[in-house]
Amino acid sequence: MRSVVNFQVIGFVIMVVSTATIGCDGCKKRDVGTGGAVPTEEPSEPVEPLPELSELDLDMRKVVLGRRLYHDARLSGDGTVSCATCHSLDHGGAEPRAVSVGIGGQLGPINSPTVLNSRYNFRQFWDGRAADLREQAAGPIENPAEMGHSFVELIPQLKENSTYTTAFQEAYGSEITKELVLDAIATYEESLLTPSPFDAYLRGDKDAISAEAKAGYATFKEVGCTACHSGMLLGGQMFQRLGVIKDYFKERGTEITPADLGRYNVTQEDDDRHLFKVPTLRNVALTSPYLHDGSVETLEEAIRIMGTYQLGKDLDASQVAHIKAFLESLTGELPPHAREPEAAAAAAHPREMRARPAGREQNSRPTKG
């Protein structure tokens, strides 16, 4: 059973904590069993630091295999699109476009969310239709408008590659199967933690972020942003209606699309119209354009829109600047293993690699063997 957050309860808690008065009638907490128990007491800080990568129990053989699959365009029907095409490591794990572009140049209906730190989302996709990263990974591969392949055809193709057959035997002690392909990709994605200066600040290093970022964090809490953007991801733990206080879609002035219906597309319940999974704010300075429709180009504009439609507040220039500085302190570093070796070398020595073809990381197609 889904737990619905009562408007009056949320309003009371926020007023006590920060004097903010946000409406949260469209807010739904994490489902029981998908993301852990909802805490009964407020933590001392609404935001928690990410764990260190060393704290995770990761099999690096599976991580490296998943990395290869994630960047391999052979997972698409025409060999032009990889997972990294829409979830680029060079763009905060998201994409620099309003909507995704699939095989044959097909335009998708929605902006791709970041894959970084996504292991801590309570569900996956904007509408929460996937329970975990393994279920999520299966969707784009067989979606005809995205990667347009089928596992019936893909698995034999991968088995023709001796590098893959050896890697699956070493990582899993098994031949290649659909389930193991998805597990490898998900294991790689689970390893993409990006600790930031703000994490160091939360752990006690008070000089890790600027005075403006500290003021921004205080403002972020005071105006009520933490009602939805809290926890380890500063989001990712509930569904929320876009347009809690004012009608975002009416004032956007464009036709309502199926993607705009959000969670309703999964549940077919009228109360779920325009509900979306609250996005993480980690690395948000890198992931423009913003919102599910990719309609917002700048971080400043996104902050103002959230103030207006979610909080009922007209944030002034100083508040926007401070919150932006805080959000920029959430930009983290990719783990050393995140990129394929050649891409990592290009990132570390861009001048030496300048003559190499651009975009190879996203659409590389290794030769057989």
What type of residue sits at position 65? L
Beta bridge partners of 231: 47
Q: Which of 146, 189, 328, 340 is catalytic?
A: 146
What is the rounded distance in angstroms from the CA atom of residue 199 to the CA atom of residue 187?
23
Residue 340 known to be catalytic: no
What type of residue sits at position 147? M
In SS3 terms, the chain reads as: CCCECCHHHHHHHHHHHHCCCCCCCCCEECCCCCCCCCCCCCCCCCECCCCCHHHCCCCHHHHHHHHHHHCCHHHCCCCCCCHHHHCEHHHCCECCCCCCECHHHCECCCCCCCCCCHHHCCCECCCCCECCHHHHHHHHHHCCCCCCCCHHHHHHHHHCCHHHHHHHHHHHCCCCCHHHHHHHHHHHHHCCCCCCHHHHHHCCCCCCCCHHHHHHHHHHHHCCHHHCCCECCCCCCEEEECCCCCCHHHHHCCCCCHHHHECHHHHCCHHHCCEEECCCCCCHHHCCCECCCCCECCHHHHHHHHHHHHHCCCCCHHHHHHHHHHHHCCCCCCCCCCCCHHHHHHHHCCCCCCCCCCCHHHHCCCCCC
Give every CB contact of residue 135 below 8 A, 6+ residues apart in sequence. 124
What is the rounded distance in angstroms from the CA atom of residue 257 to the CA atom of residue 107?
14
- Token pair in block for residue 345: 């070398």
List the catalytic residues.
Answer: 146
